Amino acid sequence: MEVAGSATGAATDEKTVSSTTAVDIGRHKSSKEKADVSVPKTSLSALGEAEYEGWLLVQTGASKKGGDWKKRWSVVANFALYHFENKEASAQAVGFVPLPSYTTASAHDVKQDFAFALEHPSARSYVLAAGTLDQ
């Protein structure tokens, strides 16, 4: 991911999305207890300057054996990771992870180079992969 400056505040209107919809991307740590994910209704341009931005592969599906991978424009801003289908200014967020409550871990069990996991003890975990080590 590329460094693009410091984060700025952005007003968002949140809507709650069930953890089984296509908007909620990643994989669950436990299929017994699935937390709902709030995806802020915000455009890429509304985020302002990001701390990091770049393309990431995001694993979809709730299976521990994995799922499909989707290429998403990913932005770290306002202490959160936002995912967009493209990097156009008008693009709406399709994924959201509040970073302060997550930890990072290696994801050696997936067949993607430069893969890592965002893990949470009681909520959904995510598996992502960069295209290169520099991203």
What pLDDT was estimated at residue 65?
A: 57
Distance CA(49)–CA(15), nearest Å, equals: 23
Q: What is the pLDDT of residue 132?
A: 76
In this prediction, residue 40 carries a pLDDT of 82
CA 71 to chain centroid, in Å, comes to: 11
Provide the CATH number for the domain formed by 13-130 in this structure. Answer: 2.30.29.30
Mean pLDDT by 10 residues, the chain (135 residues): 38 32 36 57 90 92 69 95 94 93 88 90 90 73
Alpha-carbon distance 94 to 84, whole Å? 5
Q: What is the pTM of this model?
A: 0.68
Type and span of the H or E element at 40: strand 37-41
Which amino acid, residue 23? Answer: V
* Pairing status of strand 93-98 against strand 13-17: unpaired
